[in-house]
């Protein structure tokens, strides 16, 4: 019997990871498309990271932040400061998303206290959002099922409508939704009293929550005998047509109802043989483009345009995407060729020769 208080019923044992793949103890491979909770952005098993961790643990494992700083922390903060869109930033390192949210909420409160505005204590967030599972983060989160058991401990945050394309509550949807949501936020702040609001928190992209109406793709098309279950201790089976619809030909799911279920969801199914066509099988070629034409603005004088290095948009190159005959439309990136003389108009990208 496992001594782990598990968060999912009978999960596979992950033993190693490489790049986007996770491998379990029985050799099963999983495409880690979301990088866990969108945290393994550089992939698994990166040798540079492994070497840095090994090197650092030889020098120093841990010191408390209230007593010491360290060179790696200072270097990391300096590097991060270069890219965050905040003037003169400071970095407060924590160990995860919930702790980051708790800290951000406390920082907002501390800021207003320091400015002599102690009445600013309300946090505004969005319905259906996920900001973590610790108490403060849960309070700003807008997930009814996660909140339900702890409601007596919650209630300091106020929620505005979720910005979700499907079932968008804006009356003029799909037009003017951005302005409608901005107005809802403004109206809520005014209702609460603008002097009482400490912060507004929102996910730039809703990631941790399956979204009702969005399409989720199975690993295979031509699916049959599909069963979708949740991750409760006794997994519940979602009802096709009520909780989700499936496009079995394309292998896609659309959730209709997530109310009482415990994500993540697991789909088991059989799938048929398919014919696959390989595309993008080689590195994209760079092309030299030469146009011979007439300059109609200058008495039809002959003109030669040369573009030395062009990387065309690969989608425009796939023949089956074009429906039009005789249509000459190209899109791509123009690259400089440092070996060619500089042209007055096109620099080192090409030349225009009036003949």
Ligand X SMILES: Cc1ncc(COP(=O)(O)O)c(C=O)c1O
Out of 32, 203, 247, 286, point to the residue binding ligand X (CB under 6 A).
Answer: 203
Options 71-79, 90-98, 114-122, 307-315: segment touching ligand X (CB under 6 A): 90-98
- Whole-angstrom CA distances from 167 to 39, 303, 329 are 29, 55, 38
Find the binder of ligand X among 22, 97, 223, 238 (CB under 6 A): 97
Distance of CA 184 to the CA centre of its chain: 25
Query: For ligand X, which stretch binds (CB under 6 A), given 47-55, 80-88, 128-136, 271-279?
Result: 128-136
Q: Is 130 in the site for ligand X (CB under 6 A)?
A: yes
146, 148, 150, 155: CA torsion to nearest 10: 100
Q: Report the residue number whose CB is nearest to ligand X.
A: 97
User: Can you read off the two tokens belonging to residue 286?
Assistant: 């760079």
Would you give the distance in Å from CA 55 to the centre of its chain?
31
Residue 335 near ligand X by CB under 6 A: no
Q: Which is nearer to ligand X, 37 or 232 (CB)?
A: 37
Considering the complex, state which of residue 133 and residue 257 has its C-beta at the smaller distance from ligand X: 133
DSSP SS3 for 55: helix
Q: Choose which of 132, 136, 142, 350 interacts with ligand X (CB under 6 A).
A: 132
Q: Which of 141, 145, 115 is nearest to 130 (CA)?
A: 141
Residues 6+ apart with CB under 8 A from 74: none
- For ligand X (CB under 6 A), the number of binding residues is 11
- Nearer to ligand X by C-beta: 7 or 115? 7
Of 203 and 337, which CB lies nearer to ligand X in the complex structure?
A: 203
Regarding 131 and contact with ligand X (CB under 6 A), the answer is yes
Tokens of 73: 């922390």
Q: What secondary structure does DSSP assign to 87-115, as a single string? A: SS------SSHHHHHHHHHHHHHHHHHHT
In the complex, the smallest distance separating the C-beta of residue 204 from ligand X, rounded to whole angstroms, is 8
310: which 2 tokens? 């062009």
| 45: contact with ligand X by CB under 6 A | no
Q: Does 125 bind ligand X (CB under 6 A)?
A: no
Q: Which of 93-101, 189-197, 250-258, 296-304 is the region at the interface with ligand X (rule: CB under 6 A)? A: 93-101
Residues 13, 15, 20, 37: which binds ligand X (CB under 6 A)? 37
| Smallest separation (angstroms) from ligand X to the CB of 6 | 16
Q: Edge to edge, what strands does the sheet with 157-160 contain? A: 157-160, 122-126, 197-200
Told to check if 252 binds ligand X by CB under 6 A, we report no
104 binds ligand X, rule: CB under 6 A? no
- Taking alpha carbons only, the member of 263, 243, 261 closest to residue 253 is 243
Under rule CB under 6 A, residue 98 binds ligand X:
yes
- Long-range residue pairs from 140-143, CB within 8 A, at least 24 positions apart, any chain: 140/101, 140/105, 140/201, 143/209
Nearer to ligand X, 1 or 84 (CB): 84
State how far the Cα of 171 lies from the Cα of 174, in Å rounded to an integer: 9
Is 244 a residue that touches ligand X (CB under 6 A)?
A: no
Q: Is 96 in the site for ligand X (CB under 6 A)?
A: yes
Among 22, 42, 38, residue whose Cα is nearest residue 30: 22
Q: Taking CB under 6 A as the rule, does residue 208 contact ligand X? A: yes
Closer residue to ligand X in complex, CB, 98/231: 98
Angstrom distance (rounded) from CA 145 to CA 147:
5
Site residues (vs ligand X, CB under 6 A): 37, 96-98, 101, 130-132, 203, 207-208
């Amino acid at each position: 019997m496992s001594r782990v208080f598990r968060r999912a019923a009978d999960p596979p044992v992950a033993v190693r990871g490489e790049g986007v793949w996770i491998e379990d103890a029985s050799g099963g491979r999983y495409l880690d498309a979301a990088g866990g909770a969108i945290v393994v952005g550089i992939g698994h098993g990166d040798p540079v990271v492994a070497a840095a961790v090994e090197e650092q643990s030889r020098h120093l494992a841990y010191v408390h932040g209230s007593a010491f700083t360290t060179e790696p922390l200072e270097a990391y903060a300096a590097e991060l400061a270069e890219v965050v869109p905040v003037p003169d930033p400071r970095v407060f390192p924590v160990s995860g998303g919930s702790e980051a949210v708790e800290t951000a909420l406390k920082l907002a409160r501390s800021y207003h206290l320091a400015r002599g505005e102690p009445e600013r204590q309300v946090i505004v967030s969005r319905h259906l959002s996920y900001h973590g599972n610790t108490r403060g983060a849960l309070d700003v989160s807008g997930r009814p099922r996660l909140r339900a058991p702890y409601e007596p401990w919650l209630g300091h945050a106020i929620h505005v409508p979720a910005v979700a394309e499907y079932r968008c509550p804006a009356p003029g949807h799909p037009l003017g939704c951005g302005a409608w949501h901005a107005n809802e936020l403004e109206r809520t702040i005014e209702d609460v009293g603008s002097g009482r609001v400490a912060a507004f928190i929102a996910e730039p992209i809703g990631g941790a929550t399956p979204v009702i109406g969005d399409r989720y793709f199975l690993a295979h098309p031509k699916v049959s005998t599909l069963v979708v279950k949740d991750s409760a201790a006794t997994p519940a089976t979602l009802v096709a047509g009520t909780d989700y619809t499936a496009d079995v030909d394309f292998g896609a799911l659309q959730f209709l109802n997530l109310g009482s279920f415990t994500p993540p969801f697991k789909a088991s199914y059989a799938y048929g043989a398919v014919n696959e066509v390989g595309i993008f099988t080689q590195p994209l070629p760079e092309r030299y483009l030469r146009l011979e034409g007439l300059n109609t603005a200058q008495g039809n004088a002959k003109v030669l345009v040369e573009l030395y290095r062009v990387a065309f948009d690969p989608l425009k190159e796939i023949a089956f995407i074009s429906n039009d005959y005789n249509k000459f439309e190209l899109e791509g990136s123009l690259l400089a060729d440092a070996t060619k003389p500089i042209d007055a108009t096109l620099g080192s990208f090409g030349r225009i020769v009036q003949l």
